[in-house]
Amino acid sequence: MYLKLSVIAALVAVATAAPSTTTTAAATPSSVAAPIIPLPPFSGTLVGAYPTQDKIAPTDTPLVKQWLAELNLTSVATWPVVPFTAGGDPQNPKAIPEAACDWTETNCINKDITTCPLGVWGLTYDDGPTEFSGKLYDFLDTTDQKATLFYIGSNVVENPALARRACGAGHQIAVHTWSHNPSTSLTNEQFIAEIKYTEMAIKELCGFTPRYFRPPYGDIDDRIRGLLWAMGYTSVIWDYDTNDWMMAPGGTRTMAQVDAAFAQWIAVAPTDKTGHVTLEHELYANTVAAAIENLPKIQATWKAMPVSACINDAHPYHETNITLATMNGAKAGISTGNTTASATVSVGGATATSSAGSSTASGSADHSTSAGTVSNVVSSSVTVMAAAAAVALGQMLF
């Protein structure tokens, strides 16, 4: 399905010689509004050399070797890799010390974002893009609602048009690994490969590089955090879990139970001490249905926004000419004068360039993001969902 490096050069030559402004429209549903974040050209076929979908990313490719050589891992904690059991689940309980600050084992957080400020709901959907995502994105569009989407790299390459739609719409795109395996069961090299290949797919399709990450299953310790920091990432967990993943076909959770969870959170909202970051999924038809069912209730109770917006990070991508809207007033767009940045995409050493990137939007000069802003949120993040942490990883599907 994906092209080998040997043919990339030819494709790049074609793309360069015949830049087209029509490919974006062809890859995007016709009913969708024009992107507010301009997208790079896309032929409909990814040019990068990507790993097998839904399998742990390989570590022996030239690309991974290059990425490893570029990273300084001297400060990364050396906590042991948590073994998989014979059944494929992570060891439970994990044989790692408390000092590893493992969230699922001890609720320990270390510079992770788990809440938004009081009155604000950090709206997040995991595991996309999937065949069900279009329905969710349509609904979000009806109220111009933006969300944080934690994307699985394998799903990005499987659903490139949906990924591009969400990128262009101004949702915050973030990384959720390549294969959705528990992070602490991956070696340093495997985890880096999982992040970088997902980054690569998002960069090829959307022209930017995320700076935020959510661990599948909330599975994170200080070794994984150290790797993330070395790659420029901030981790995001959650304090409210809908457990909607249990609505998988044949699963045990009902729409009524998810609705009841929201009803309970809304009932106690007047006594909230902090805002929230939720965990929902764009994974199944019924998780999307639950998301659509409950979003109006969220919007009526809190100010709903992406996580980057609630911590006032206007630049959740490495490409700082791209701005996303924030709570303190930054407006989404791409800075004028940097139009070529969105039209030149380097994919694993191959560069696809087009002159079609002439679209500009009103960029904001807001650069108010600061470590202080983020750490204030983090330091107040004492609300950790104990129930989720108590669930054995081996019992969790998503």
398 and 216 Cβ atoms separated by less than 8 Å: yes
Pick from 102, 105, 127, 282 the residue near Zn ion by CB under 5 A: 127
Q: Which CB, 155 or 294, lies closer to Zn ion?
A: 155
Pick from 126, 204, 219, 282 the residue near Zn ion by CB under 5 A: 126
Q: Which CB, 2 or 398, lies closer to Zn ion?
A: 398
Catalytic residue selected from 126, 127, 222, 244: 126
Binders in 7-26 for Zn ion, by CB under 5 A: none
| Contact status: 398 vs Zn ion (CB under 5 A) | yes
Q: Which of 392, 2, 394 is nearest to 197 (CA)?
A: 2
Strand 276-281 and strand 240-241: the pairing is: parallel
Q: Which of 109, 107, 81 is nearest to 95 (CA)?
A: 81
Instruction: Give 172's strand partners.
Output: 148
Binders in 318-377 for Zn ion, by CB under 5 A: none
Distance CA 104, CA 377 (A): 20
Q: Which CB, 160 or 216, lies closer to Zn ion?
A: 216
Distance CA 4, CA 158 (A): 16
Q: Which CB, 231 or 279, lies closer to Zn ion?
A: 279
Instruction: Give 121's strand partners.
Output: 276, 304
- Site size toward Zn ion, by CB under 5 A: 4
Residue identified by tokens 């200080």 is 222
Q: Which CB, 38 or 216, lies closer to Zn ion?
A: 216
Distance CA 185, CA 188 (A): 9
Is 281 among the catalytic positions?
yes
Q: Which CB, 213 or 265, lies closer to Zn ion?
A: 213
Q: Which of 130, 170, 174, 177 is nearest to 149 (CA)?
A: 174
Q: Which residue is nearest to Zn ion (CB)?
A: 126
Stretch that binds Zn ion, among 116-124, 165-173, 201-209, 216-224 (CB under 5 A): 216-224
Amino acid 179 reads: S
Question: Please, what is the minimum distance in Å from the beta carbon of residue 244 to Zn ion?
Answer: 11
Q: Which of 11, 213, 182, 192 is nearest to 83 (CA)?
A: 182
Stretch that binds Zn ion, among 98-106, 122-130, 313-321, 351-359 (CB under 5 A): 122-130
Pick from 51, 134, 216, 218 the residue near Zn ion by CB under 5 A: 216
Question: Please, what is the minimum distance in Å from the beta carbon of residue 124 to Zn ion?
Answer: 10
DSSP 76-97: S--PPPPPBPTTSSBPSS--S-
Question: Please, what is the minimum distance in Å from the beta carbon of residue 337 to Zn ion?
Answer: 38
Question: Please, what is the minimum distance in Å from the beta carbon of residue 189 to Zn ion?
Answer: 22
Residue 138 structure tokens: 């349509």
* φ/ψ bin of 206: left (φ > 0), alpha (ψ from -120 to 50), beta (otherwise): alpha
Q: SS3 sequence, 230-242?
A: HCCCEEECCCEEC
Question: How is residue 210 annotated by DSSP?
Answer: B
158 and 194 Cβ atoms separated by less than 8 Å: no
Question: Please, what is the minimum distance in Å from the beta carbon of residue 389 to Zn ion?
Answer: 16
Stretch that binds Zn ion, among 123-131, 364-372, 373-381, 389-397 (CB under 5 A): 123-131
Q: Which CB, 104 or 354, lies closer to Zn ion?
A: 104
Interface mask (CB under 5 A) for Zn ion, residues 172-211, using x and -? ----------------------------------------
Catalytic residue selected from 171, 176, 276, 281: 281
Residue 111 structure tokens: 């510079």
Q: Is 196 helix (H, G, I), strand (E, B) or coil?
A: helix
| Contact status: 215 vs Zn ion (CB under 5 A) | no
Stretch that binds Zn ion, among 13-21, 47-55, 212-220, 360-368 (CB under 5 A): 212-220
Binders in 19-78 for Zn ion, by CB under 5 A: none
Active site residues: 126, 281
Binding-site ranges for Zn ion (CB under 5 A):
126-127, 216, 398
